[in-house]
Amino acid sequence: MMVKRKIIKERIPTPERPVEERLKGFMEVNLGYTFELAVQEAQRCLQCPYEYAPCIKGCPVHIDIPGFIAKLVEYKDEPDRAVKEALRVIWACNTLPATTGRVCPQEDQCEMNCVMGKVGDKVNIGKLERFVADYAREKGIDDELLGEMLPEIEKKEQRVAVIGAGPAGLTCAAELAKDGYHVTVFEALHKPGGVLVYGIPEFRLPNEVVEKELEKLKRLGVEIKVDHIVGKTVTIEELLNRYDAVFIGSGAGTPRLINAPGVNLNGIYTANEFLTRINLMNAYRFPEYDTPIKVGEKVIVIGAGNTAMDAARTARRLGAEVTIAYRRGEEDVTAREEEVEHAKEEGVKFEFFLNPIEFIGDESGRVKAVKFMKMRALEEKDAKGKRKIEPTGETVILEADTVVIAIGKTANRLIVNTPGLEVEGGVIKVDENLMTSIPGVFAGGDAIRGEATVILAMGDGRKAAKAIHEYLQKKAKESA
Amino acid sequence: MYKILEKKEIAMRNIWYKVHAPHIAKKVKPGQFVIVRAFENGERIPLTPVMWDKEEGWIGLVVFTRGKTTLRINTELKEGDSFLNIAGPLGNPAPMEKFGKILAIGLYTGVVEVFPIAKAWQELGNEVHTLHVTFEPMVILKDELEKAVFKHTVETVSIDPNKSFPENMKNVTARAKEKVREMIENLKPDLVFMVGPVGDQKAIFEVVKEYNIPMEVDLHPIMVDGTGMCGACRVHINGEVKFACVDGPSFDAYTVNWDELIARSGYYRDLEMKAMQLYMEKLQAQGGAQ
Ligand SMILES: Cc1cc2nc3c(=O)[nH]c(=O)nc-3n(C[C@H](O)[C@H](O)[C@H](O)COP(=O)(O)OP(=O)(O)OC[C@H]3O[C@@H](n4cnc5c(N)ncnc54)[C@H](O)[C@@H]3O)c2cc1C
Ligand SMILES: Cc1cc2nc3c(=O)[nH]c(=O)nc-3n(C[C@H](O)[C@H](O)[C@H](O)COP(=O)(O)OP(=O)(O)OC[C@H]3O[C@@H](n4cnc5c(N)ncnc54)[C@H](O)[C@@H]3O)c2cc1C
Ligand code: SF4
Ligand code: SF4
Ligand code: FES
Q: Which helix (H) or strand (E) holds A457?
A: helix A454-479
Strand partners, B16: B8, B62
> On the CB side of A233, how many CA atoms lie within 13 Å of its CA?
22
- Average confidence (pLDDT) over B258-277: 95
Question: Residues of chain B with pLDDT > 90: what percent?
Answer: 96
Ligand 4 pocket check for A106: Cβ under 6 Å? no
pLDDT class for B202, splitting at 50, 70, 90? very high
Task: Please report the pLDDT score of residue A122 as a whole number.
Answer: 96
- Kindly state if the Cβ of A189 falls inside 6 Å of ligand 1: yes
Domains annotated for chain B, with CATH where assigned, are 2-90 (2.40.30.10), 101-265 (3.40.50.80)
Above 80 in pLDDT, residue B287? no
Q: What is the pLDDT along chain A (480 residues), one digit of tens a residue?
A: 455 567 888 999 999 999 999 999 899 999 999 999 999 999 999 999 999 999 999 999 999 999 999 999 999 999 999 999 999 999 999 989 999 999 999 999 999 999 999 999 999 999 999 999 999 999 999 999 999 988 888 899 999 999 999 999 999 999 999 999 999 999 999 999 999 999 999 999 999 999 998 999 999 999 999 999 999 999 999 999 999 999 999 999 889 999 999 999 999 999 999 999 999 999 999 999 999 999 999 999 999 999 999 999 999 999 999 999 999 999 999 999 999 999 999 999 999 999 999 999 999 999 999 999 999 999 888 888 888 999 999 999 999 999 999 998 887 778 888 889 999 888 999 999 999 999 999 999 999 998 899 999 999 999 999 999 999 999 888 887
Q: Per residue in B155-199, pLDDT tens?
A: 999 999 999 988 999 999 999 999 999 999 999 999 999 999 999
Nearest neighbour of B68 by CB, restricted to A272, A290, A365: A290
Specify the CATH class of A155-253+410-479 in words: alpha beta
Residue of chain B nearest A252, judged by CA positions: B229
CB contacts of B231 in chain A (<8 Å) are 255, 257, 269-270, 272-273
Whole-number Å distance between alpha carbons of A308 and A336: 11
Asked if A115 reaches chain B (Cβ–Cβ under 8 Å), the answer is no
Q: In 3-state terms, what secondary structure has residue B132?
A: strand
Distance CA A260, CA A254 (A): 18
- pTM of structure: 0.95
Nearest-CA neighbor of B33 among B245, B261, B235, B236? B245
Cα B241 vs. chain centroid, distance in angstroms?
A: 23
Neighbours of A432 (CB within 10 A): 7
* Residue B143 DSSP label: H
Burial class (CB in 10 A: 0-12, 13-18, 19+), A1: exposed
Spans of all domains in chain A: 19-149, 155-253+410-479, 257-407
Provide the pLDDT for residue A371.
Answer: 98
Instruction: Decide: A62 and A355 in contact? Cβ < 8 Å.
Output: no
d(CA B115, CA B105): 10
CATH class of the structural domain A19-149: mainly alpha
Binned at pLDDT 50, 70 and 90, residue B288 comes out as low
* Terminal Cα-to-Cα distance of chain A (whole angstroms): 49
The helix/strand/coil state of A366 is strand
Instruction: Out of B18, B52, B66, give the residue to mutate to test ligand 2, the one with the largest number of ligand atoms within 8 Å of its CB.
Output: B66
Q: Could you please report the per-residue DSSP string of A367-409?
A: EEEEEEEEEEEEEEE-TTSPEEEEEEEEEEEEE-SEEEE-S-E
Mean pLDDT of B102-111: 97
- A 42-101 near B (Cβ less than 8 A): none
Closest Cα in chain B, distance from residue A155 (Å): 28
- B87 beta partners: B35
- DSSP label at B154? E
Ligand 3 neighbourhood includes A173 CB (under 6 angstroms):
no
- Fold: same for A155-253+410-479 and A257-407: yes
Q: Is the pLDDT of residue B77 over 70?
A: yes
- E strands present in A308-461: 321-326, 349-352, 354-361, 367-381, 387-399, 402-405, 409-410, 423-424, 427-428, 441-443
ipTM of the predicted structure?
0.95
Say yes or no to pLDDT of B290 above 60.
no
As a residue count, chain A comes to: 480
Nearest to A33 by CA among A146, A190, A179, A138: A138
Q: Does B159 touch chain A (CB under 8 A)?
A: no
Nearest to A177 by CA among A133, A134, A217, A121: A217
Using the Cβ of B24 and the Cβ atoms of chain A, whether some distance falls under 8 Å is answered with: yes
CB of A421 closer than 6 angstroms to any ligand 1 atom = no
CA dihedral A437, B226, A307, A459 (to 10 degrees): 30
pLDDT of residue A5: 64
Third-level CATH fold of A257-407: FAD/NAD(P)-binding domain (3.50.50)
Burial of B288 (0-12, 13-18, 19+ CB in 10 A): exposed
